[in-house]
Amino acid sequence: MSTHTTGSPANDGLSPELVELRRSVEEFANEVVDPKAAENYRNHTFDYDIVAGMGDLGLFGLPFSEEYGGMGGDYLALGVALEELARVDQSVAITLEAGCSLGAMPIYRFGSGEQKQRWLPDLLTGRAIAGFGLTEPEAGSDAGGTKTTASLEDGHWVLNGSKQFITNSGTDITSVVTTTAVTGHREDGRKEISAIIVPTDTPGFTAEPAYDKVGWNSSDTHPLSYDDVRVPEENLLGTRGRGFAQFLSILAEGRVALAALSTGVAQGCVDEAVAYARQRTSFGRPISEYQAVSFKIARMEARAWSARQAWRAAAAKMLSGADFGREASIAKMVASEAAMDNARDATQVFGGAGYMNETRVARHYRDSKILEIGEGTTEVQLMLIARSLGLEDR
């Protein structure tokens, strides 16, 4: 087990409260998450005890107000926690990230007072988690591809359709999946897309068998089907016809959180590579003394440092109330690429040992590719950055 290297930049610029949060989550990651990580990964186990432990620490409530059982923090606090968890186990980190940014946040941002009072207390304490039902086979970033429908009948929305790749959607503690659906058409013929809260115990709602994934083996991901799913009209989330716009704003915030998670992966790979290079000998010398190895690790550290600056700058701009879309896209792209590159280089430093799944670096190598895909691919981020510069795509 490795921890942060001496003089870690992870504390740089943080308030004493955030330094203490980082330390407590690092301790939880090392002492609770890490001992079970390899076994959970091998057995594809969603670990309810670890989720409960994160709830006890208040991690699910970090970016939410105390009024609904949150911790009164913000996305900077959530990002600090995600860094430490992702350093050890990406599956655990994405469970928290999706639970906060994608699960509870739509209800917190757009829900009515009654919806918040009903759902948030359990979601912000980890007693329950929620899913974010956006992606379909032909619809993710492209709202026009949405095929799931919701029609009003006798005071109820009746949903039909399917979703795919939905995190936290099929666990024993999943309480709701907020779902985008076509609720009509505008005068110009475009689809009217709304967001609707769907409790998972509603008849006709089915979390299909879990995916067999390349990585993130200990996180929960399912396709979903909706077969005449009836929920009350008041389960509409926010304004009718604004569902996709609402979800896009949630994704922008989520990109900052995912960038923090990716930074933790990048830093974890550095820490593992440093520890291994110091103790692994070749030709009578620690491999850390060979420039080919030390320079590789130095470049890894530069990537992790750059990723941290990017996500924290994006978080700071978000918290200032300014438009942070470009910074969120830059942070998400830079950090996810740093995670993927560092996972590859750390595996190379470990040699054959890096190909064994009991090592963190092997799991990071399998897990990290999705960081360049989820919550907007690298190509989508490049498109958004280019648009922000006035370079319109054709």
Q: Buried (b) or exposed (e) across 28-66, using 16+ Cβ within 10 A?
A: bbbebbbebbbebbeeeebbeebbebbbebbbbbbbbee
With 0-12 / 13-18 / 19 or more C-beta atoms within 10 angstroms meaning exposed / middle / buried, residue 141 is middle
Query: What's at 16, amino acid-wise?
Result: P
Closest CA to 64 of 15, 131, 109: 109
Closest CA to 157 of 226, 242, 253, 88: 226
β-pairing, 129-133 with 191-199? unpaired
> Could you count the other beta carbons within 10 Å of the beta carbon of residue 185?
10
Given 97, 337, 372, 375, the catalytic residue: 375
Those residues with Cβ within 8 angstroms of residue 195's Cβ, 6 or more apart along the chain or in another chain: 106, 110, 178, 179, 180, 181, 236, 237, 238, 242, 243, 246, 247
The total number of residues written for the chain in this structure: 394
DSSP lists the bridge partners of residue 194 as: 181
Read off the tokens for 91: 């599956």
- The answer to whether 175 and 200 are in contact (CB under 8 A) is yes
- In order of 101, 221, 313, 319, 358, the CA distances from 322 in angstroms are 19, 33, 12, 8, 43
**What Rg value do the Cα atoms of the chain yield, rounded?**
21
CA-to-CA distance for 232 and 151, rounded, in angstroms? 11
- Determine whether 208 is an active site residue: no
Q: What are phi and psi of 357, to 5 degrees?
A: -65, -15
Q: Buried (b) or exposed (e) across 102-133, using 16+ Cβ within 10 A?
A: bbbbbbbebbeeebbebbbebbbbbebbbbbb
Q: Catalytic residue numbers?
A: 375
